[in-house]
Amino acid sequence: MTKSVPHMRSRINKSMFQDIMSMTFKRLNPFYLQKNPVMFVVFIGGSLTSLICLRDLLYSIPFHEPLWFTASISFWLWFTLLFANGAEAIAEGKGKAHASSLKALAKEIKAHRILKNGQEEIVPASELRRDDIVKVQAGEFIPSDGEIIEGIAAIDESAITGESAPVIRESDSDRSSVTAGTRVISNSLLVRIIANPGESFLDQMIHLVQAAKRQKTPNEIALQILLVGLTLIFLIVCATLIPFGLYFHDKISLTVTIALLVCLIPTTIGGLVSAIGISGIERALRKNILAMSGKAVETAGDVDVLLLDKTGTITLGNRMPVEFIPFEGVDIKELAKVVQLSSFADRTPEGKSIIEFVQKNYGNFIDEKDIANLTFIPFSAETRMSGCDNKSLSVRKGSCDAIQDFIEKKGGKRPSNFAQVTEQIGLEGGTPLAVAQNDKILGIIHLKDIIKPGIHERFKRLRAMGVRTVMITGDNPFTAQTIAEEVGVDTFLAEATPEKKMKLIMEEQAKGYLVAMTGDGTNDAPALAQADLGIAMNSGTQAAKEAANMVDLDSNPTKILEVIEIGKQLLMTRGCLTTFSIANDVAKYFAIIPAIFVLSLPELEALNIMHLVSPHSAVLSAVIFNALIIVILIPLALRGVKYRPLGAKSLLARSLLIYGVGGILVPFIGIKLIDMLLVNMSLI
């Protein structure tokens, strides 16, 4: 559903490449690395082996191991770190590229700031503060995110959404927000600025993709604790291996112990965990979702219940007529004529679609002469009718009870089967509109919701993910039921009011469910705040946006499905790489343990099932594999493990097979290949 926006696709260009390289090296800084304990252990290992090399260069007798070996191990340990840093830098670079392409729009714009005394001054957009009022005229760009306080205008948002059709933004409505960098096409607006420089949604988002600034999410912290725990266990294992060696009269060198330690600790996930987190946010950004926090994206993956407004989300915004039902004694043509007359002044999308329907099926009944003699009564929310009058004639079209009142006032009576016909339409999920001429109801227009194409599949997918969907609609329960069944939502809330919606959210939460919803209006704001995940439409009011955890720049409510998938993907990628990382250790033991004891306990050669050529090649191959696997997995970390809505069981079985069993087997092959390569190239 989301269109890809060509100019926003990030490509790694030359300057970005330089940025990434410099970040990669700069972050070898121990103060930076200590935030990631697993990689910090690698740093200490690399430093110690480097010191041993230095010592060996100064003294002629090497420290336990030949110099070339210690140097190679040291070299690859540093590379392990660089690869991990590189992964993070690439993820960050990509994220920043997206964010800054959005941000670049707002640069260099001049704003007309209205001063307290009513005078205008021209200032650069970057100097605008919260609550400043600016005037934006046709052809100008919106200088900073804001809310329209006066005026209505057509705005070209294509720079952000990629959608070329202009959108209408209007003060005091649910579509009062404007975004920096979009262009006003018609009219002029007074806009109140809502964020200080550097505090806009976009700025917040940029923080989320910066490794040094972003906050770890709770789930990431939990994983980190697990990884630190595993590191601790392996530290104990490796440290106590030295005394065990001594018991068998074998002095295990520090270099080999460090090599074993680095191979065993979960460097694969430890090195990629930051990149995974950043690229999760970046994927959201790529879908034009601004998340207020990394936690919000993760929460999305846990959503149990999803509240969706019917109108605009499940159905197209406007209903369309599907048939005219004349009452007894009324000719269909005559009805069609009255319908056209009465709808002529109805400028709502529904009114327009009714006229189109008449013209398409019954031809045109109105010519210029007629119009001149008629007084048109436009549709209004109060009367819920539209129509036209002249001396002898009064036609109306509108909601059934309004029309009924209308004819009863004139002394008319409704047809005997009126209630039956209207109820039937309601049962079918449609909306009946009555058509009257003077004191007589001629017939009924059957209006129907047009369900968005493809929505049925989306609900199926959501159900497979374990998400329950609730349709929110102002319709009566019968209509709601029919539509709910037709599109395949699980339940519905009919005759919804903001209070009812809020109550529903709280009830679901009390049952232990995590609730997500989308909204745009100010009256949605409390519900958006109450929901565990609230996504506000970018077109919505400021209040709605502030209450939400995410803002969708495309204002497309069905995008929530993709947000949920991004959240799930984020966790899955972490889980799968953790499993892979731990499963890898089996092969590494088989490579290194027999190598360590080759001299004192040659009997352990039986464990060398990979038939690695020499102890040195075995240890080195394991270390090289451990470093290279990080590089190989960078694309997966950035892209995320593919999510399939299969249900938890089959999803897990699948992942366990690929990353668990695969994680055990792959290093056996990889280490053996590296060993063969080292030997064939006479490096050993």
Partner 1 sequence: MTLMGWLQIGFLFILLFGLTKPLGLYLYNIYESPSRFKILSTLEEMIFRFCGIDKEQQTWKAYTFCLILFNLIGIIVLFLIQTTQHFLPLNPQNYPAVPWDLALNTAVSFVTHTNWQAYSGETTLSYFTQMMGLTWQNFCAAGTGMTAFLALSRALAHHATDEGDKTVGNFWVDLIRSILFVFLPACFIFALILVSQGTLQNFSPAIDVTTLEGAKQTIAMGPVASQEAIKILGTNGGGFFNANSAHPFENPTPLSNFLQMLALVLIPAALTYTYGKITKSSSHGWALLATMVFISLLGVAFIYYFESQPNPLLNHLHLNQDLGNLEGKEVRFGIPGSSLFANFATDTSGGPANSMYDSFSPIGGLVLLINMLLGEVVFGGVGVGLFGMIMFVIISVFIAGLMVGRTPEYLGKKIEGKEVRFAILYVALYPLVILVGTSWSILAPYGLSSLQNLGPHGLSEVLYAYTSATQNNGSAFAGLNANTPWYNITLALAMFIGRFLSIYLGLAFAGSMVNKKIAIPNAGTFPTQGMLFIGLLIGVILIVGALTYFPVLILSPFLENTYLQMGKTT
User: What residues are annotated to the active site?
Assistant: 309
DSSP-assigned states of every residue in 278-333? HHHHHHHHHTTEEES-HHHHHHHTT--EEEEETBTTTB-SS-EEEEEEEPTT--HH
Q: Interaction with partner 1 in 367-386: which residues (CB under 8 A)? A: none
Continuous segment of H or E residues that includes residue 395: strand 394-399
By rule CB under 8 A, what string of x and - marks binding of each residue 484-513 to partner 1? Answer: ---------------------------xxx
Separation of alpha carbons 53 and 64, rounded Å: 11
Q: Which stretch binds partner 1 (CB under 8 A): 82-90, 237-245, 481-489, 546-554?
A: 237-245
Q: Which is closer to partner 1, CB of 453 or CB of 512?
A: 512
Contact residue for partner 1 among 139, 218, 349, 363 (CB under 8 A): 218
| DSSP letter, residue 446 | E
CB atoms near residue 167 (< 10 Å): 19
Give the end-to-end CA distance of the chain in Å, rounded to a whole number: 55
Separation of alpha carbons 635 and 245, rounded Å: 40
Contact residue for partner 1 among 381, 454, 649, 682 (CB under 8 A): 649
Q: Which is closer to partner 1, CB of 112 or CB of 468?
A: 468
Q: Which stretch binds partner 1 (CB under 8 A): 110-118, 222-230, 348-356, 452-460?
A: 222-230
Q: Interaction with partner 1 in 136-155: which residues (CB under 8 A)? A: none
By rule CB under 8 A, what string of x and - marks binding of each residue 16-55 to partner 1? Answer: ----------------------------------------
Separation of alpha carbons 264 and 42, rounded Å: 11
Q: Interaction with partner 1 in 76-105: which residues (CB under 8 A)? A: none
Q: Which stretch binds partner 1 (CB under 8 A): 159-167, 221-229, 388-396, 398-406?
A: 221-229
In this structure, are residues 188 and 131 in contact, taking their beta carbons and an 8 Å threshold? no
Q: Interaction with partner 1 in 529-568: which residues (CB under 8 A)? A: 567-568
Contact between 583 and partner 1 per CB under 8 A? yes
Closest CA to 286 of 97, 107, 17: 97
Dihedral angle computed from the Cα positions of residues 314, 317, 318 and 319, in that order, rounded to the nearest 10 degrees = 10
Side-chain-side CA neighbours of 99 within 13 Å: the count stands at 26
| DSSP letter, residue 381 | T
Min CB(194)–partner 1 separation in Å: 32
Separation of alpha carbons 433 and 431, rounded Å: 7
How many residues form the binding site for partner 1 (CB under 8 A)?
Answer: 74
Q: Interaction with partner 1 in 601-640: which residues (CB under 8 A)? A: 601, 603-604, 606-607
In this structure, are residues 525 and 505 in contact, taking their beta carbons and an 8 Å threshold? no
Phi, psi of 531 (to 5 degrees): -60, 150
Q: Interaction with partner 1 in 584-603: which residues (CB under 8 A)? A: 585-586, 589, 593, 597, 601, 603
The β-bridge relationship of strands 468-472 and 491-493 is: parallel
Min CB(51)–partner 1 separation in Å: 25
Q: Interaction with partner 1 in 270-299: which residues (CB under 8 A)? A: 298-299
Q: Which stretch binds partner 1 (CB under 8 A): 140-148, 157-165, 226-234, 370-378?
A: 226-234
Q: Which is closer to partner 1, CB of 188 or CB of 600?
A: 600
Contact residue for partner 1 among 301, 351, 387, 667 (CB under 8 A): 301
Cβ-proximal residues to 39 (8 Å cutoff; 6+ apart), any chain: 33, 81, 84, 267, 270, 271
Q: Which is closer to partner 1, CB of 156 or CB of 304?
A: 304
Contact residue for partner 1 among 37, 474, 488, 575 (CB under 8 A): 575
